[in-house]
């Protein structure tokens, strides 16, 4: 079952490091980290060493 995770960190841009927060769905934290690295690298033309992930947390599910 896929869960939602929030991945937070920094990525290298032209004028320094910029913070990011990305929501991804994955079966576990390791796959969520990989998915975030892949998506950010593809969208912003970054290598993995230009992306620093600081935290991966599961999103709380709203029980409404």
Q: How many CB atoms lie within 10 A of CB 40?
A: 20
Nearest-5° Cα angle at 21, 16 to 25: 140
**pTM, rounded to two decimals:** 0.86
The alpha carbon of residue 6 and the mean position of all alpha carbons in its chain are separated, in whole angstroms, by 7
Query: pLDDT per residue over 14-41, tens digit each?
Result: 999 999 999 999 999 999 999 999 999 9
Q: Would the pLDDT of 61 be above 80?
A: no
Which of 10-35 are b and which e, b meaning 16 or more Cβ less than 10 Å from the residue's Cβ? Answer: ebeeeeeeeebebebebeeeebbbeb
Which domains can be identified in the chain, with CATH numbers?
3-58 (3.10.20.10)
Burial class (CB within 10 angstroms; exposed 0-12, middle 13-18, buried 19+) of 5: buried
């Amino acid at each position: 079952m896929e869960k939602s995770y929030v991945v937070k960190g920094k990525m290298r841009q032209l004028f320094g490091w910029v913070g990011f927060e990305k929501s991804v769905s994955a079966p576990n934290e390791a796959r969520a980290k990989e998915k975030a690295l892949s998506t950010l690298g593809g969208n912003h033309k970054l290598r993995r060493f230009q992306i620093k992930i600081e935290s991966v947390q599961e999103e709380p599910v709203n029980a409404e």
